[in-house]
Amino acid sequence: MLRKATTIVREDSANFVRNGAGWPTQVEIAARHKDIIAQADLLESFAGDSFPTIARHQLAIEDVFANLRQLGLRAPDALVSGIAFALSVFDR
């Protein structure tokens, strides 16, 4: 699921929601795109770990999704919910 989220984030990295009035400059767009890709890279690094390791990094993964929202991009809710559910089951 983390790999799927990474793929979606990368594919949609240019389609972020603008923040505030007006249109961003090309420099701002490039910087935002770079920041989004950096978050996708973090998700991908977690995806390569074993499930117990992923579970230990739960807060960091949640931070990535929060950072993506701040950057104006969201992974699909159903996918994020599935990841959260898998982590909660592991915690039990």
**Which residues are CB-contacts of 63 (< 8 A; sequence separation ≥ 6)?**
none
Residue 37: pLDDT band (50, 70, 90) is very high
92 or 45: which leads in pLDDT: 45
Q: What percent of the chain has pLDDT over 90?
A: 21
Please state, in angstroms and rounded to a whole number, the distance separating the CA atoms of residues 68 and 72.
6
pLDDT digits (tens, 9 = 90+) for 20-32: 677 888 888 889 8
